Amino acid sequence: MLALTALCAHKSRPLFYLKRLPYIACTRNCAKQSVVADKAKVDGDVHLQGRMSQDIGSHGLQITLHLTNAASKTTMSSIASSKEHQQDFDGSFYSTRANNVVALWYRWTKGLVMSTFLPAGYPHTCGSNYLQFTLWAGVTNFAVTANAVLASTFLLYSVGLGAGAIPAAGALNWVLKDGIGQLGTLVFGKVIAHNFDIHSKSWYFLSMLQLKVATALEMLTILCPEYFLAMGSAANGIKGLALMASGSTRSVFNLSFALDNNIADITAKSTSQWIFSSLLGTAAGVGMCSWVGQNGPLAVLCYSSLTAVTLLSAYQTVRSIPLATLNSTRLQLLTDMFLSIVRDAAESKAARLRSAVSASNGADGWIVGLTVKAGWDEGGYVAEDASTMEYDRSFDEEMANKIPSPVQLAAEDPPFPVFFSDDRIMNPRIFVGTPVKNMIEGNPEHLVVLLATFKFSRYMVFPSTGAVHVILHQTAENRDIYQAYLQACLLRRRIKHDRCKYLHGGEHSLTELRIALQDTLLAAERLTTPFMSALTERGWRTDKVVVEAVRRRARWSALS
């Protein structure tokens, strides 16, 4: 049987097979094509012309070929399909037999692997970094599974396997361990599950840490078999919580990669990837168990190595996820970058004005009575310069392009800001949903200032030593959240540069507080619209912003 196989230039995967064509192989400059068969032979040169068309994201294809060999024989072949994407081709062919079998098997294997583990239409139907995410997630699952097999072996040793223990007692302890652990998972899941949507990357990374803690507890049971039930239950509860967090956040990650309404396909392939890496991890774990036995130092070596691989690959996994939704961490990073763009633009405008004034003075011989200031500093708007107030009108696409897209920010988004002590977010830290009584620290005068300043706003921002607190009103919308973060980041810049005199106390501290809040509120109001427009232009979903639980919001009325 004879067959012709054509490959896309950008995908190098089989698109069609034609029967009953001479044995030839094709070379072209603009597209990779090959013709393979098993018995036929071509005498002389061959020329092929025609048109092929393929539906994007499907396997449908139509091709019309005009084949001419040295003997001037012509063969016309056609396969019917729809014609959404067409490509003309004109290539020269030469006779060859070597490497055809190897090439065919390579392409067949590659197509099988891609169809098994990657969504249909990859990479056009998936977001950027999908393959990188998949590979690192596979390494993580491999290490986790191998470690779990090793830990399960030590659990069996501690429960009495091979030591003449009564099987019924061991089985009872094992069942109780699982039951108590699952009950603990339900209790803790009820308390923290709502945070999975807010900090997806953080909880995924934290779930890997939790799995390592659970695995360590399971392995330590061999040293304290009398505490098997307590240690095993605690380990199982931690493990259940970790699996709950990783599974929940994984669904968020899969959704972020779905570009063609194919979340079900991506989820199914994610399951295939998980099964395959788990099988490899199980095999590796069995091999380790045979090598380690009950040797403590070897067990510690294997556990430490697998833990290092797990945490490193988990860190790389979350760095490859381009989440387009906004949480507190990403919103703070983007807000800080936007404010830096504002500052640079204002300074550049002021420099041009100063240059123009200097040129005018030098040319005409008279001094212009004008003082030109940048209009923007680390604290926010400077009232003496009206040009900054018009900044939102001059915001253009070139400035918006300086804001990173979800793919560009993915590597900078820390998976666990507190653990990594990211200075951009933690110095000082922004708290959302702080109770009012804790925020004002029992000072009613601070509350009066807040109500007077934010009487027409649906949020409050209050700076304190080492922190900036944000409280959202029950009716706050997405725009209010963006404005609140703009003002909070402006106040944080003032704190960093020690320009908040009210933090040092004194008789004028309340006046300084009122001025700081009013100035930054004015700047935030003007910059909210261009900020949201820039985010939308760069691919961020401004309609999807979650920074805190709605139950933490407050309600207040304006002062008369």
pLDDT averaged over every residue in the chain:
74
Confidence of residue 46 (pLDDT cuts 50, 70, 90): very low
Query: pLDDT of 185-198, one tens digit each?
Result: 777 776 777 677 77
**CB distance 492 to 428 below 8 Å:** yes
Same domain, 382 and 489: yes
For 432, the 3-state DSSP assignment is: strand
Per-residue pLDDT of 373-384, as tens digits, reads 555 555 454 444
234 and 365 share one domain: no
pTM over 0.75: no
Residue 558 located in a structural domain: no
DSSP string across 105-149: HHHHHHHHHHHHHS-TTTTTTB-TTHHHHHHHHHHHHHHHHHHHH
Q: Are 61 and 47 in contact (CB under 8 A)?
A: no
Cα dist from 152 to 148, 169, 219, whole Å? 6, 17, 8
Kindly state whether residues 106 and 145 are assigned to the same domain: no
Lowest mean pLDDT segment, chosen from 95-104, 251-260, 547-556: 95-104
For residues 19 and 49, give the distance between their C-alpha atoms in angstroms, rounded to a whole number: 17
Residue 174 shares a structural domain with residue 284: yes
Looking at residue 93, what is its pLDDT?
39
Domain-ending residue, one of 281, 302, 319? 319
8 and 136 both lie in a single domain: no
Cβ neighbour number for residue 307 with a 10 Å cutoff: 20
As a whole number of angstroms, the distance between CA 277 and CA 420 comes to 28
Pairing of strands 467-472, 429-432: parallel
Nearest in space to 376 (alpha carbons), one of 364, 368, 367, 386: 386
Residues 87 and 208 in one domain: no
Instruction: Give the per-residue pLDDT at 525.
Output: 92
* One domain for residues 257 and 356: no
* pLDDT value of residue 391: 46
Per-residue pLDDT reduced to its tens digit, 495-517: 877 666 566 555 557 888 888 89
Q: Which of 319, 339, 370 is the last residue of a domain?
A: 319
**Within a domain: residue 125?**
no
Query: Which tokens is 470 given?
Result: 């944000």
Q: What is the pLDDT of residue 354?
A: 76
pLDDT at 559: 53
Please, what's the largest Cα pairwise distance for the chain?
Answer: 106
pLDDT category, 553, cuts 50, 70, 90? confident
Alpha carbons 207 and 219: distance in angstroms, whole number:
18
Residue 410 within any structural domain of the chain: yes
Residue 13, in any domain of the structure: yes
What pLDDT is stored for residue 374 in this prediction?
A: 52
Q: Could you tell me if residue 187 is inside a domain?
A: yes
- Asked if 444 and 498 sit in the same domain, the reply is yes
Residue 84 banded pLDDT, cuts 50, 70, 90:
very low
- Total domains present in the chain: 3
Q: What is the pLDDT of residue 143?
A: 96
Co-location of 509 and 400 in the same domain = yes
Residues 391 and 409 in one domain: yes
Residues 394, 498, single domain; the answer is: yes
Co-location of 389 and 472 in the same domain: yes
Rounded Cα distance, 448 and 478, in Å? 26
Q: Which domain holds residue 404?
A: 328-552
Q: Is residue 122 part of a domain?
A: no
236: domain CATH number is 1.20.1250
Of 319, 344, 360, the position where a domain reaches its end is 319
